[in-house]
Structure 1
């Protein structure tokens, strides 16, 4: 398992909590809070694009 530094949980409503993380190789991670052992990984650029799209309202149905 990579050495992941996790951010504080981001929660919308009380039941939807996610955590974002990074490693020293420049990879980005997203996981459901409390289930950090089951994560998705991609590049930092992909994670930035996902966050920008969510903020722009393109993917608000995911949250």
Structure 2
């Protein structure tokens, strides 16, 4: 298992909390808070783009 540095959990109104983490190799991770051993991983750039798209409303149809 990679050594992941997790940020504080992010919790939106009435929804699950999630955490974003990074490792020394430039990978980014996202997991449900409390379930950090089950995560999705990709590059930091890919995670940054995902977050920017979500903030821009491009994923609203998935909710």
Spell out, residue by residue over 1:6-45, the C-alpha distance to the aligned partner (whole angstroms, 9 max, x if none): 0000101243100000000000000000000000000011
CA–CA separation in structure 2 for the residues paired with 1:62 and 1:6: 26
User: TM-score by structure 2 length?
Assistant: 0.90
Query: Cα 1:61–1:6, aligned 2, differ >3 Å: closer, same or farther?
Result: farther
Runs of 4+ in 1 over 3 A off after TM superposition: 60-63
Root-mean-square deviation (CA, aligned residues, Å) is 1.5
Gaps of 5+ in 2: none
User: TM-score by structure 1 length?
Assistant: 0.90
1:62 shift after superposition: 5.5
Gaps of 5+ in 1: none
Please identify which structure carries the higher strand content. 1
Q: Give the count of matched residue pairs.
A: 63
